[in-house]
């Protein structure tokens, strides 16, 4: 089923499932064609527990 035929609830559920399975917001942006802000907002709307920021350029501060 294409994304245009899905209900908002189905889209939110799919985004949440993908994110909770390890997908990054940026990969979801590429998959859906939506903006970063839109995907982030939809994840929050769906009740997704967001991961902390990270990635290859993220460094912990020295204590």
Query: Cβ(14)–Cβ(44) under 8 Å?
Result: no
Q: Provide CB contacts within 8 A for 18, sequence distance 6+.
A: 27, 28, 31
Question: Cα–Cα distance between 54 and 61 in angstroms, integer?
Answer: 13
For 18-62, the pLDDT digits (tens) are: 999 999 999 999 999 999 999 999 999 999 999 998 765 556 666
Residue 3 pLDDT > 60 = yes
Query: Cβ(19)–Cβ(48) under 8 Å?
Result: yes
Who has greater pLDDT, 55 or 13?
Answer: 13
Return the closest-CA partner of residue 20 out of 48, 53, 54.
Answer: 48
């Amino acid at each position: 089923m294409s994304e245009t035929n899905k209900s908002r609830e189905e889209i939110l559920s799919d985004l949440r499932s993908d994110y909770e399975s390890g997908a990054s917001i940026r990969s979801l942006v590429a998959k859906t064609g939506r903006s970063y802000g839109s995907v982030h907002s939809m994840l929050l709307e769906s009740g997704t527990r967001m991961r902390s920021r990270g990635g290859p350029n993220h460094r912990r501060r020295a204590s």
